[in-house]
Amino acid sequence: MRCVRCGKDTPYRSRPKDERCSCGEPFAFEPKYRHPLADAAFAAAIDRVSAGGSLRWLPVHLYYEVCRRIDRRRLLHRRVVPIDHAGFDRLWSRWTGAHGWPPTALADDDALTASPTQLPPDVADYAVDRAVVTDSDATLRLLLANNFHVDNRCAVLTVGGEPSGVSEAVLAMLRRSEQLTVLALHDASVAGSTMASRLLFEDQWFRDLVADGTATVVDLGLRPDQAKQFRACFLRTDQRPASDAILSKKDHRWLSRYRLELAAVLPATLMGRLQRTFTAPIGAVADAFAGPVAGGDGDDGFG
């Protein structure tokens, strides 16, 4: 078992009772008996999720990466998660207890309420041409913590109106744009499958802008047809899609059984995909009348 600090390998027979490497660094896990992963594998998962320490992330993102690794290690080849959230939480507290909170990890209990900051009067003159709307608070936090909004000059919101205190001002700036691109990002779930059409058809969102051609809504996912790219990340659900939902039979069946969270996508992959969609010319316009809400430019690139 390799130590995460000094790299020395301590075989099982030599592992002391106090569960430490000879350099003093504790071991969080004992894979022979109790835990699904060794420290080195957990550290590798953190390295992957943080893109080598260059990105911030939430524990839920690590959860899915750990699920993938456990599935690989046990040769399960399953779609569904091998451990549940509670099981991961236990692993996570063992890890932080032994090695401390990783510097790139974010706490997921910060409030999302922004106190309206002192803004100069001419903010009213700005128009923002890009927006990412998501149904996942975790995704919102991820993007903001990594300054995605600053680097890509785009607004970030949830359908629930987070961050509260800011979303009204931001929506006003979006409405001022002469050519708005909205990327919809949601879980592959019953609620998520309706999100893009909400953006297209609800007055409080972009119905009028889409109607007069100044706004384009692109549904990047996650959708059931993209789910096959994910291994060991499905959650089970007992929800059913609404009876009037516009879904194919396959999608309907999938959504009745499973749920796939956005957090299953690696942060680097997610942000890279968003960026590429913003900078590439938009190939397919989201057309709600062409069956299920159309995807992006046909190349999904998730998972």
Partner 1 sequence: MASLLRWRERLGAFRPPAGHVVTPAPGRLAVPAGLSLRPVGRIAGAAWAPGGMAAVGAFRACLGATAETLVVEGRPGAVSVRRVSGDSDDGCAVPMVADWDACWLDDRPVRSLLDWWSIVGADCLASVEGAFALAWLGPDGAVHLARDAPGERTLYYAPVGGGVLFASTIHALIATGRVDRVVDVVGLASYLSCAYVPGSRSLVEGVREVLPGEQVDIRPASIRCRAFWRHPGDETTGTVSLQSERLARERLRVYLERAVARRLPTISEPVAATLSGGIDSSAVVAIARRLHDGPLHTYAASFGARYPNELAYSSLVATHCATSHHIVEMTPKAVLRNLDAVVSLLSKPIGDPLTVPNAVLFREASRQARIVLNGEGGDPCFGGPKNLPLVLAQLYAGVTPGHERFSWERAYLRVHQKAYDDLGRALAPDIAAVLATGLLEESLHPYFEDPRWSTLVNRLMEMNVVLKGAHHILVKVDQISAAFGVLGRSPLFDRSVMEQALSLPPQMKLRGSTEKYILKQAVADLLPRAVVDRPKSGMRVPVEGWFAGPLGRHARERLLDGLAPSGLIRRDYLLDLLSTSEHRYRRRRGVKIWLLITLEAWLRTVLAAEPPVRSSTATNRP
- Give contact residues for partner 1 (rule: CB under 8 A): 48, 51-56, 106, 110, 112-117, 119-123, 125-129, 144-147, 149-151, 153-156, 163, 165-166, 169-170, 176-179, 267-268, 271-272, 275
Q: Does residue 22 contact residue 29 with C-beta atoms inside 8 Å?
A: no
Taking the least distance from each CB to partner 1, the nearer of 24 and 121 is 121
Taking the least distance from each CB to partner 1, the nearer of 146 and 277 is 146
Q: Does residue 184 contact residue 205 with C-beta atoms inside 8 Å?
A: no
User: Phi then psi for 207, rounded to 5 degrees?
Assistant: -55, -50
H helix intervals, the chain? 39-49, 59-73, 85-99, 137-145, 148-151, 167-175, 195-201, 207-211, 249-257, 267-279
* Closest separation in Å from C-beta 220 to partner 1: 17
* Closest separation in Å from C-beta 54 to partner 1: 6
Taking the least distance from each CB to partner 1, the nearer of 79 and 176 is 176
Taking the least distance from each CB to partner 1, the nearer of 32 and 153 is 153
* Closest separation in Å from C-beta 41 to partner 1: 16
Contacts of 41-49 with CB under 8 Å at 24 or more apart are 41/69, 41/73, 42/66, 42/91, 42/95, 43/4, 44/69, 45/69, 46/102, 46/104, 46/105, 48/266, 49/266, 49/267
* Closest separation in Å from C-beta 272 to partner 1: 6
* Strand boundaries in 81-136, DSSP class E: 130-134
* Closest separation in Å from C-beta 115 to partner 1: 5
Taking the least distance from each CB to partner 1, the nearer of 31 and 165 is 165
